[in-house]
Structure 1
Amino acid sequence: MKYSITVLLSVALASLSTACSTPGNFIITFYGYPDNSPPGPDTAHNCGGRNYKAGGSGTYNNPVTIATAPGELNVCEIVYLPLLTKYGRYEDDCAQCTTDYKNGQHHIDIWTGSSTTNGGQKQINCEDDLTPGGRYSIVRNPPTNYTVNAAPLFVAPNTCNSQNVHPNNRAHC
């Protein structure tokens, strides 16, 4: 009997730790090859076999790289971004996100573009166009079957898919 109670309690606690949640009030911005620090596709964390390179299309199995403050999310954690209808994975650190986090403001920066091509000023302009302002929710511990738009946010030399940002989408578990 003691064994059964221990097993049931372990299962219950495990399910609580992986429950979907929708924290809100995130500043969401964008970054890419030209304004990464240093410029290029390098990331702070090696997740999903990418060998410290940013990328991703936004599907659950190929999430787009996101950067944030250390401690804001778990390294290599996958979240769902209703604003973009994409999954993202914490693979990089962000200086402004860290400052904001220390001041009590959640902030994530989302990778745009290629891991091999520098889009220059046109990419930076696109990042500005993609940034809607306001505060948004994300989904932590998301299910794997949310709707996804796997279209790239920026394609060099000058295609900005700002129509793929949906400020009115809301996070739901």
Structure 2
Amino acid sequence: MKCITSVALLSTLLSLGTACSTESNFVVTFYGYPDNSPPGPGTAHNCGGRNYIAGGTGTYSNPLTMATAPGEFNVCEIIYLPLLTKYVRYEDDCAQCITDHNNGQNHIDIWTGSSTVNGGQNQINCEDNLTLGGKYSIVRNPPTNYGVNTAPLFVAPNTCNTQDVYPSNPAHC
């Protein structure tokens, strides 16, 4: 009986650790091929078989690459970002995110554009236009069935989908 009770308790505790939760006050910025360090699609972590290459469409099965500070999320963790109605995954590190994290500010940087085409200054301008300022909420351990907008944020040479940013979308489990 003790064994069954212990297993039931452990199962309950494990399910609590993976429950959906919302967190707020994240700075959200954008990066891509031209302003990655070094320039290109390389990432710091190999997640989902991408072979250290940024990308994704924003679905749960193909999340968009996210950069942040080590320790902000688990490597390869998928979160849902209501601001974009996209799933994103921690696959890369971000220098400004590290500085902000060390100063108590949550910061995530979202991949824009192609993993093969450098959008140059047009892409950087798009990233600036997508960055609205303010603080936004995220959903950790999200369900896999949230609605998503798979439209790319930037398409070279000069398509910037600023209409696909939803600053008033609430985060909820």
* Band of TM-score, shorter chain: over 0.9
Superposition deviation, residue 157 in structure 1: 0.5
Matched with 2:127 is: 127
In structure 2, the residue corresponding to 1:22 is in which secondary structure?
Answer: strand
Superposition deviation, residue 138 in structure 1: 0.4
Whether 1:167 and 2:141 are equivalent positions in the alignment is no
Unpaired runs of 5+ residues, structure 1, are none
Q: Equivalents in 2 of 1:120, 1:105: separation in Å?
A: 29
Identity of aligned residues (%): 77
Q: Equivalents in 2 of 1:163, 1:129: separation in Å?
A: 11
Whether 1:25 and 2:17 are equivalent positions in the alignment is no
Q: Where do 4+ consecutive residues of structure 1 move more than 4 Å?
A: none
Question: What is the letter of the counterpart of residue 39 of structure 1?
Answer: P
In structure 2, the residue corresponding to 1:10 is in which secondary structure?
Answer: helix
Q: Equivalents in 2 of 1:79, 1:88: separation in Å?
A: 6
Superposition deviation, residue 4 in structure 1: 1.1
Q: How many residues align?
A: 173
Greater strand proportion: 2
Q: Equivalents in 2 of 1:119, 1:171: separation in Å?
A: 31
Whether 1:44 and 2:38 are equivalent positions in the alignment is no
Q: Equivalents in 2 of 1:6, 1:150: separation in Å?
A: 43
Q: TM-score, normalised by structure 1?
A: 0.99
Superposition deviation, residue 7 in structure 1: 1.1
Question: What is the letter of the counterpart of residue 66 of structure 1?
Answer: M
Matched with 1:85 is: 85
Question: What is the letter of the counterpart of residue 36 of structure 2?
Answer: N
Unpaired runs of 5+ residues, structure 2, are none
Q: Equivalents in 2 of 1:132, 1:172: separation in Å?
A: 21
Superposition deviation, residue 149 in structure 1: 0.2
Q: Equivalents in 1 of 2:104, 2:3: separation in Å?
A: 43
Matched with 2:146 is: 146
Question: What is the letter of the counterpart of residue 120 of structure 2?
Answer: G
Superposition deviation, residue 10 in structure 1: 1.1
Matched with 2:109 is: 109
In structure 1, the residue corresponding to 2:74 is in which secondary structure?
Answer: coil
Q: Equivalents in 2 of 1:170, 1:67: separation in Å?
A: 22
Q: Equivalents in 2 of 1:51, 1:155: separation in Å?
A: 22
Matched with 1:66 is: 66
